[in-house]
A and B are shown apart, each in its own frame.
Chain A
Amino acid sequence: MFDFLQGYDVLGAFWTTIQLTVWSAIGSLVWGTVLAAMRVSPVPVMRGFGTGYVNVVRNIPLTVIIVFTSLGLFQTLGVSLGADTFDVINFRLAVLGLIAYTSAFVCEALRSGINTVPLGQVEAARALGLSFIQVLTLVVLPQAFRSVVGPLANVLIALTKNTTVAAAIGVPEAALLMREMIENEAQLILISAVFAAGFIVLTLPTGLFLGRVGKKVAVKR
């Protein structure tokens, strides 16, 4: 019944999906944190940039962003991100696009966490003589992260599924292979089911695990 799988590297395609997810997750966590820091910083220019970035980027369809990294950044501006084969270039461009997009959502999740930290603790930290960066990294962000593990898990699950958009610029991940198989084989429903199951296998444990982590690290007040 699963003969149609023969000759296709389904696991390899999902491995690419995982790699896209992991690199993008790390990148968007870092960039999203920087954006959140900008949005709460005392410097108006930074606040303006952070706000502007989030409001522009999160309202652009991901497909447009991913296609732009290929057509705009690579083919027009020649940005190849240090790679020389098309496969690697496209992979890196897709990661860049996914980071640019997902970080806006990470930023907003994190900012809602920052808002849960009582202002009094920030004042106490400032009164001790800590700098803005120290207040942020020692007092505010550790508590903010703990309170938004759940929302960040949502962002991660969405990111995992969003990696399928990388198919638009030819990154050989799961969705690209699925399209190819649907064209070649007469097993439309089964093929879809296999790939759907594959994504659930990736995202379901993520959600359950992070849900538990979130409960465990929650700050008692």
Chain B
Amino acid sequence: MSGAAVSKEPFTPGMNSRALVELHHVDKHFGPLHVLRDIDLTVDRGEVVVVIGPSGGGKSTLCRAINRLETIDSGEIAIDGRPLPAEGRELARLRADVGMVFQSFNLFAHKTVLQNVTLGQIKVRGKDRKSAEERARTLLDRVGVGTQAAKYPAQLSGGQQQRVAIARALAMDPKIMLFDEPTSALDPEMINEVLEVMRQLARDGMTMVVVTHEMGFARSAANRVVFMADGRIVEETTPDEFFTNPRTDRAKDFLSKILHH
């Protein structure tokens, strides 16, 4: 906290060629609430970054800011060396390269599972229906819901819906996947089927930012743990280091509350 003076070095996205996502001095307020305070974060290609921390700490906002579902007040965000466009066609193009999975699945209720996964491919990527459906079926098989392709989202369990949502995002061939509390709305027995799909993705080398309360997933799949509280990144280290030897009191306090039951 001592380095309060804002450093003024110029932000040059793409300098570090391994970096896929770069956040630089990002600030955001919701009214009087300062939800993101001077966030600096870099996510490298192929890296799995798990963001954990108490509710209201700014985790979800951080995740949503990366594809500009939340705007930021100041600072810069770059993806693959290019600053995040403010709006319009450029922003849509960038979002197509950033997969997002939400807490509440958000499947299109009036479309079948298959149509959910082909929509973006056809309308954004301009693929023809046949190859889009082929790709969709491959992905649905991969996440284990291949037999549900003709059903509507409301006919599926939460875990199945979330896996479809993952397939929908993967169908765009994203450079990075953002997971905003993907298992928080699931019944306990369904959490693992979703986490297993995510672990497989991580093993396959997908770049991922995962906001979650699943400490087991953070331990087993993350390359790096980012601990956020009160809008700040408080600790940023390897999972081993974070869970066995947290440095800050805030993190110690958080861990003591969640790990002992």
Contact = CB atoms under 8 A, between A and B. Distances in A.
B120 A128 contact: yes
Nearest to B172: A128
Interface stretch (A57-65, A77-85, A139-147): A139-147
Specify which of A123, A124, A131 lies most central, judged by the most chain B CB atoms within 10 Å of its CB.
Answer: A124
B130 interface: no
Contacts of A42: 87
B69 A123 contact: yes
B42 interface: no
A124 B109 contact: no
Interface string A135-162: 0001100110010000000000000000
Interface stretch (B12-20, B94-102, B189-197, B248-256): B94-102
Interface residues of A, number: 22
B119 A128 contact: yes
Interface in B206-222: none
Q: Looking at chain B, what size class is its interface with the partner chain?
A: 20 to 34
B243 interface: no
Nearest to B97: A129
B70 to A, nearest CB: 10
A205 interface: no
B107 interface: yes
B224 interface: no
B100 A121 contact: no
Contacts of A143: 109-110
Given A129-B92, A220-B109, A134 B98 contact: no
B123 interface: yes
B59 to A, nearest CB: 17
Interface in B55-107: 67, 69, 87, 89, 92-100, 102, 104-107
Q: When A and B form their complex, which 3 residue pairs have the shortest distance between CB atoms, in order from nearest?
A: A129-B96, A120-B106, A124-B106
Given A120-B104, A129-B97, 15 more contacts: A42-B87, A118-B106, A121-B106, A121-B109, A124-B107, A124-B108, A126-B95, A127-B69, A127-B100, A128-B96, A129-B124, A130-B92, A134-B123, A219-B109, A220-B109
Interface of B: 67, 69, 87, 89, 92-100, 102, 104-110, 119-120, 123-124, 152, 154-155, 165, 168-169, 172
Interface of A: 42, 118, 120-121, 123-131, 134, 138-139, 142-143, 146, 219-221
